[in-house]
Structure 1
Amino acid sequence: MSQRVLVVDDSATIRRVVSRTLRSAGYEVAVASDGRDALEHAQREVPDLVLVDFVMPHMNGFQLVQALRGVSNLADVPVVLMSAKADKIGEGFLAQTGALDAITKPFSPEALLAVTGHALSRWAKERDHDTEPPPPDARGSIPPPISETPPEPLGDSSEARLRDAADLLAERL
């Protein structure tokens, strides 16, 4: 079975070009024109990867990633941000948003396929690593898997700072 990629962009042209490129490489592709449509689609059919434009109406890329992370069966789906200013997005911001990577528009078909393949293989390695039990002699020396560790809630001020950072980035894009 081929890997499913959900492409989310308010530009019909971008959706068409990205879809065509991914399909030609053997991916199964679904499209959505904004974050709300993408969230609804992802809840019906869980994608293996979401490629999302950062600046969109109704629900931007940051809001979509946060919404995905709040749904148990979508929380681990890797997300790659697509933006004209992706080269300005740092690793810290990616970590804060929960996105795995970013790609700068316009991009070549080769760059799109490279980022898509890298994101899917990186996610698969992380997923496989998280599910493999440690060797018997190492069990006492490593922390429990992330899924067994209760998450620390973000304080109101941390969430507000994250929203402010996303708003500022959206303004600059």
Structure 2
Amino acid sequence: MIDTYSNIKYDSFHVIKDHVYNDEYKTFNKLLMFKYFKDDCQNIYFDLDTIIKGDCNRFLTKELHALKPSWNTLPMNSSILSWQGDYSHIHDKIHEDLDWYYTRFWKGIDEYLWKYFKPKLFEDGFVSFQTEQEEKDYPVYLFNQRHEHMKEKGWWSKYVNI
């Protein structure tokens, strides 16, 4: 999907498979990207349950950005993250008291990112399948933990290689 539809030119593509953290939903492992990718290159992260069907250059930013969700009550969503430079402090902070962070942010890292780092927010260019099941003109569809649904036949099938 990234090669075919995103129009993003990139030098390397990484899938982090490391499972270092033992939080309930395994979302703390997502923070490893801030540890691993801290040079001055452009970084962009997409959740694996994301459909890319259009230009994503709008999501390339220097300052840390996340999504402003319309589908839930949290002020931000980390299905897409973009940044340039060293944001390793985001990863490192949880080591101040890892068990406390597991307990406090047991549902995931979105609330953690918002509480401590307040990323800037993308407000358009994406939609959640939770609120819009029909194909519309959005470059990005977020399936938000509905990866099993992505395996079913639907308009999204032409964008998915499962």
The answer, yes or no, to whether TM exceeds 0.5 is: no
By relative contact order (CA 8 Å, sep 6+), the higher-ranking structure is 2
Larger radius of gyration: 1
More helix by share: 1
Which TM-score applies when normalising by structure 1? Answer: 0.30
Which TM-score applies when normalising by structure 2? Answer: 0.31
